[in-house]
Chains A and B, each alone.
Chain A
Amino acid sequence: MGLRTPLFSEHTRLGARMISFGGWDMPLHYGSQIEEHHAVRRAAGLFDVSHMRAIDIAGPDAQSYLRILLANDVAKLTHPGKALYSCMLNPAGGVIDDLIVYNRGAQGYRAVVNAATTAKDLAWMQAQTAGRAVSIQARDDLAMLAVQGPEARARAHPLLPARLRDAAAALGSFQAVEDDTEAGWFVGRTGYTGEDGYEILLPAVHASVLWRGLLEAQVQPCGLGARDTLRLEAGLNLYGQDMDEEVGPLDAGLGWTLAWEPEERSFIGREALRARRDDPARHDFVGLLLTERGVLRAHQRVLIAGEPVGEVTSGGFSPTLERSIGLARVRPGTPATCSVEIRGKAVAARIVAPPFVRHGQVRIDQ
């Protein structure tokens, strides 16, 4: 038996098919993964993401610490509530994890990290605090729900604590609000689906009430299956698949998350990435659209004239496009028309620029 989120019994009550993910027993789907996917693109879907961990970083040195720890620069978070996506790198430029970090003003910062990497992340983060006035606290007491889709925010608003409601409605993208008087409630206009919505942290004891309230507001419960196809359509990377400790951000389409300026900010991994940046052998990270029938899967080979030129890192079926799509690492200069080896056969594909779908709209030429 794996770890259970505070919503475990809600999932079994709904008859979810459960799977083991990163040490947690999580819902894969509640009936049809494809219908769940469409619900998020067309209206609103609800995800239990309580397996992901909020980590609070506080103390006088919190900012200077994070400017060394993270490859993106928290100095960009000029006011409380702003959020930033970043990789946390090792000295060799490999990715320890990817995360979202929020500025919490006087309370410091909050990072939200992946489930499977939580223990590793905490150990690494703790080790980097040496000699700095900074504290690291994993918030095991909080649950996290993601409500995503064009209708998600409107359907969530009546269920938020009254004092947070107006501030939440006024949030810009990648901004968060929390209310000191409602200990633990933290609402961010962020997500992992390519749609508008919230990620809501709240005390674990209140999670079931919010969950049921959102179901009553006609928000479709969604499992990890739909979460994966939604993020793939949105062209968002998955840690452990598209990048990891061996494959760094420059090889995974995450160059945009590296803050090279100011020059003197010597974040962990910077020197290794500087060398990698200028390496002509470095592969491109691209989107793939399978133009024939079949399904792209991780580790399939990308072919040009029968010769391997790269590898699929994430693949699957896109419910929106009704085609298979993927992310892949290919040799620089690979022409758009290529093929992918599926069960020994070369199946026609085309290189495209992700995202495939954002805000309900197809963003590539089919």
Chain B
Amino acid sequence: MSDVPADLRYTKTHEWIKDHGDGTVTVGITDHAQEALGDIVFVEIPASNRQVDAQEACAVVESVKAASDIYSPLAGEIIEANALLNDTPDAINNSPYDEGWIFRLAPRDPGALTALLDADAYRQSVEDET
């Protein structure tokens, strides 16, 4: 089984969410997702200040295999995107939970975080898929 850090929240579409406790979260894709996609060669990051809905496609990760939409796990405003990914998209392969983060978001309703999957529930969701 791939790495599923206990301190993060998750979605069924394989995004992880880190709560900074200051009204912002960081979003990326899981180790399981990067492994399934294969070598990542291009990332289209969202523009800052963009307003997004929950489950809205707001970034694209392209691997050698295919393009995949990345969905915002929560409604809110994009406050920053990881420009490092423009030059080193494979940071998502090498460091999915750290250097490979995709965007930071200020959720409209920080309470909505608790509705997301915890590590155990995500692990179960991946198992159910396969």
A residues contacting B by CB (< 8 A) are 17, 28-29, 32-34, 225, 229, 293-295, 297, 316-317, 324, 343
Is there contact, CB below 8 Å, between B38 and A225? Answer: yes
CA distance A33 to B86 in the complex (A): 20
Is there contact, CB below 8 Å, between A295 and B39? Answer: no
Knowing A293-B86, A295-B62, A343-B60, the reply to whether A33 touches B67 (Cβ < 8 A) is no
Q: Which residue of A lies closest to B65 (CB)?
A: A225
Return 14 A-B CB contacts under 8 Å, by A number. Answer: A28-B65, A32-B38, A33-B39, A33-B64, A34-B39, A34-B64, A225-B38, A229-B64, A295-B42, A295-B62, A297-B67, A324-B41, A343-B60, A343-B67
Is there contact, CB below 8 Å, between A29 and B60? Answer: no
Interface of A is mostly: mixed
Instruction: Flag B40-55 by CB within 8 Å of A: 1 or 0 each.
Output: 0110100000000000
Is there contact, CB below 8 Å, between B38 and A295? Answer: no
CA distance A295 to B66 in the complex (A): 9
CA distance A17 to B62 in the complex (A): 18
**Nearest chain B CB to A300 CB, angstrom units:** 11
Is there contact, CB below 8 Å, between B38 and A29? Answer: yes
Q: Which residue of A lies closest to B41 (CB)?
A: A317
Q: Which residue of B lies closest to A317 (CB)?
A: B41
Kindly list chain B residues whose C-beta atoms are within 8 Å of the C-beta of A293.
Answer: 42, 86
Is there contact, CB below 8 Å, between B65 and A295? Answer: no
Range of interface residues on chain B?
10 to 19
Q: Which residue of B lies closest to A229 (CB)?
A: B64
**Nearest chain A CB to B102 CB, angstrom units:** 16
**Nearest chain A CB to B114 CB, angstrom units:** 33
CA distance A63 to B65 in the complex (A): 41
Kindly list chain A residues whose C-beta atoms are within 8 Å of the C-beta of B42.
Answer: 293-295, 317, 324
Find the residue from B39, B44, B60, B86 having the highest chain A CB count within 10 A: B39
Is there contact, CB below 8 Å, between B64 and A317? Answer: yes
Is there contact, CB below 8 Å, between A33 and B60? Answer: no
Q: Which residue of A lies closest to B86 (CB)?
A: A293
Kindly list chain A residues whose C-beta atoms are within 8 Å of the C-beta of B64.
Answer: 33-34, 225, 229, 316-317
CA distance A316 to B60 in the complex (A): 15
CA distance A343 to B61 in the complex (A): 13
Kindly list chain A residues whose C-beta atoms are within 8 Å of the C-beta of B38.
Answer: 17, 28-29, 32-33, 225
CA distance A293 to B42 in the complex (A): 7
Q: Which residue of A lies closest to B36 (CB)?
A: A17
Is there contact, CB below 8 Å, between B41 and A32? Answer: no
Kindly list chain B residues whose C-beta atoms are within 8 Å of the C-beta of A343.
Answer: 44, 60, 67
Kindly list chain B residues whose C-beta atoms are within 8 Å of the C-beta of A28.
Answer: 38, 65
Instruction: Flag B86-97 by CB within 8 Å of A: 1 or 0 each.
Output: 100000000000
Kindly list chain A residues whose C-beta atoms are within 8 Å of the C-beta of B65.
Answer: 28, 225
Find the residue from A29, A33, A229, A295 having the highest chain B CB count within 10 A: A295
Kindly list chain A residues whose C-beta atoms are within 8 Å of the C-beta of B67.
Answer: 295, 297, 343
Kindly list chain A residues whose C-beta atoms are within 8 Å of the C-beta of B44.
Answer: 294, 343
Among B56-97, those with CB < 8 Å from A are: 60, 62, 64-67, 86
CA distance A34 to B89 in the complex (A): 13
Among B16-38, those with CB < 8 Å from A are: 38
Q: Which residue of A lies closest to B35 (CB)?
A: A17
CA distance A225 to B41 in the complex (A): 13
Kindly list chain B residues whose C-beta atoms are within 8 Å of the C-beta of A294.
Answer: 42, 44, 62
**Nearest chain A CB to B56 CB, angstrom units:** 14
Q: Which residue of B lies closest to A318 (CB)?
A: B41
CA distance A17 to B65 in the complex (A): 12
Kindly list chain B residues whose C-beta atoms are within 8 Å of the C-beta of A17.
Answer: 38
